[in-house]
């Protein structure tokens, strides 16, 4: 009973969102709730949020890159795929558009290199029309259920 009273108070106070939650925010909250926090015992193989979060935080400027190639903009997420163990989900948005989930290959837990990217995992980039990527937003959901995000402008991540 007390749970429902506290929920009512939180909703009346704006739910911690500073106002009404939008449909997109509600969908994001629902997506995160489908996951459960995983054991964070360090394995030494960089397969938990405990092991990869500090690395990803310190290398945030390398999360994505944009490359102009063969008449297209290529958005690379190689860095994030290389540290995907310890993540539940990676989502991205281009130019302020809707967030989309980037399907990451599974971790190779039973191997010496669980974060390796195999040929059959697909390419670590998507192609867009040349000059169309002006900004990129990234949201990470770690396997301890903590989150991080970053926004990049084209000139900040454009490869020479």
pLDDT tens readout for residues 59-100? 999 999 999 999 999 999 999 999 999 999 999 999 999 999
> Which residues in the chain show pLDDT less than 50?
1-27, 29
Name the residue among 76, 54, 59 with its Cα closest to residue 133: 76
Range of the domain at 17: 1-34
CA dihedral 78, 82, 85, 87 (to 10 degrees): -30
Interacting residues of 29 by C-beta distance below 8 A, sequence separation 6+: 21
CA-CA distance, 151 to 153, in Å (whole number)? Answer: 7
Shared domain for 1 and 72, answered yes or no, is no
Q: What is the CA radius of gyration of the chain?
A: 18
Which residues make beta-bridge pairs with 91?
101, 139
CA-CA distance, 2 to 89, in Å (whole number)? Answer: 33
To the question of pTM greater than 0.85 for the whole model, the response is: no
Shared domain for 2 and 65, answered yes or no, is no
Shared domain for 140 and 125, answered yes or no, is yes
Shared domain for 98 and 60, answered yes or no, is yes
pLDDT of residue 64: 98
Name the strand (E) or helix (H) holding 83: none
Shared domain for 19 and 45, answered yes or no, is no
pLDDT of residue 43: 82
**Phi-psi category of 30—alpha, beta or left, where left has phi over 0 and alpha has psi -120 to 50?**
alpha
């Amino acid at each position: 009973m007390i749970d429902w009273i506290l929920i009512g108070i939180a909703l009346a106070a704006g739910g911690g969102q500073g106002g009404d939650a939008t449909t997109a925010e509600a969908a994001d909250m629902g997506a995160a709730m489908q996951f459960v926090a995983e054991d964070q015992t360090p394995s030494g193989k960089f397969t938990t949020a405990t092991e990869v979060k500090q690395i990803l935080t310190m290398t945030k400027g390398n999360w994505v890159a944009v490359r102009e190639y063969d008449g297209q903009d290529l958005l690379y997420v190689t860095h994030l795929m290389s540290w995907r163990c310890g993540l539940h989900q990676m989502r991205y948005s281009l130019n302020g558009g809707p967030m989309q989930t980037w399907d990451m290959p599974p971790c190779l837990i039973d191997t010496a290199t669980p974060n390796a990217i195999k040929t059959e995992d697909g390419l670590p980039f998507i192609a867009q029309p040349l000059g169309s990527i002006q900004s990129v937003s990234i949201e990470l959901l770690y396997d301890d259920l903590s989150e991080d995000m970053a926004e990049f402008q084209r000139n900040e991540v454009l490869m020479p």
